[in-house]
Amino acid sequence: MRAKSGQSAPVPVSPRLGFTLIELLVVIGIIGILLALLTPTLGSTMGRARSAQCLSNQRQWTLFWLNYATDHNGYFSDGVEMNNGVTIGWNRGEWASELQPYFMAKAGILQCPDARNALPGKVHGGPMNTYQHAAPIDKLRSSYGLNCWLYNPPSNVQAIQGRPAANHWRCLGGIAKPTQTPMFLDSMWRGTGPGHGSTSLEPPAYNGEWVGADAEIRHVALKRHRDGINVSFADLSARYVPVKTLWALKWHRGYDTGVAATIQFPGWMN
């Protein structure tokens, strides 16, 4: 429309661009609500992915142990680490030295994805921490351990660190209940051997309690994945095991799985 004589033309009004402060606050609030709803789901998904990777790692360890046995007439390592003919005394971790030729190309599988960091100033690990190996592989840290009843003690050895030689599973084919016999486990120490001695089956007072290398079941009685740990078995499978179920596994030849019913479990395990 043309302006009348003597009048200026009307100025066109531009459409409003951007948001008002109130609108921005509403959008930010909605984003915050969505993040609050999605974060637990994303965290749970990532946790399941890390647990799946841990199970894959443990299957690999079982295959390494099987490959070792195949290369040594079907038998496991003897469990007696020697240095110039002298026992150096860290038999729980002897497996790592023996398996070094098999895993060095994949050294990352020594660690669970949920347990990669060390406890400051500590050799042992924790529920979500690695432990340190000893010589000759003392530069390596791990968060997995072996069921130390899976050794083949020499004929002149009556026991390894108190574990009677007669109760050891000496070869994979000799294991009577492979679906119940653990091989590698999430652990805060180099290995475990429950079922001998008066304290080897005592549960930890809290998640990650460390009282020494001889407190066998406490090395693996952890809550690392949900309410338990991941375990590989002699049937070459790997699965999640709730912490209290560990006492019901077939650790060695003479182990009584019924002992699980006699254990007084602390409250943190419930």
The mean pLDDT value of the chain amounts to 87
Share of the chain above pLDDT 90, in %: 61
240 belongs to a structural domain: yes
Closest Cα partner for 201 from 218, 184, 213?
A: 218
242 belongs to a structural domain: yes
Instruction: For residue 141, give the H/E element and its range.
Output: strand 141-142
Q: Is the pLDDT score of 230 beyond 90?
A: yes
Report pLDDT for 119.
96
* Counted domains in the chain: 1
> 128 or 18: which carries more pLDDT confidence?
128
Question: DSSP for 182-235?
Answer: EEEEE-SSSEE--SSSSSTTPPPSSTT----TT-GGGGT---SBTTEEEEEETT
Q: Is the pLDDT score of 197 beyond 90?
A: no
Report pLDDT for 145.
97
Report pLDDT for 106.
76
Judged by average pLDDT, the poorest of 23-27, 71-75, 140-144, 219-223 is 23-27
* Structure confidence by residue, pLDDT tens digits, 10-24: 655 555 556 677 777
Report pLDDT for 48.
79
Q: Is the pLDDT score of 168 beyond 90?
A: yes
Mean pLDDT for the stretch of residues 100-111 = 85
Asked whether the bond before 15 is cis by omega within 30 degrees of 0, the reply is: no
- Evaluate the CA torsion angle 196, 197, 200, 201 in order and state its sign: positive
Report pLDDT for 91.
78
Q: Find tokens 């994945």 and name the residue.
A: 225
147 belongs to a structural domain: yes
Q: Determine the structural domain holding residue 119 and report its residue range.
A: 21-269
36 belongs to a structural domain: yes
11 belongs to a structural domain: no
Q: Is the pLDDT score of 105 beyond 90?
A: no
Report pLDDT for 137.
85
* Structure confidence by residue, pLDDT tens digits, 48-79: 788 899 999 999 999 999 999 999 999 999 98
Report pLDDT for 16.
57
Most confident of 39-48, 127-136, 182-191: 182-191
Q: Is the pLDDT score of 240 beyond 60?
A: yes
131 belongs to a structural domain: yes
10 belongs to a structural domain: no
Cβ–Cβ < 8 Å for 141, 218: no
- Maximum distance among all Cα pairs of the chain, rounded to whole angstroms: 122
Hey, is 91 helix, strand or coil?
helix
Q: Is the pLDDT score of 8 beyond 70?
A: no
7 belongs to a structural domain: no
Mean pLDDT for the stretch of residues 97-114 = 88
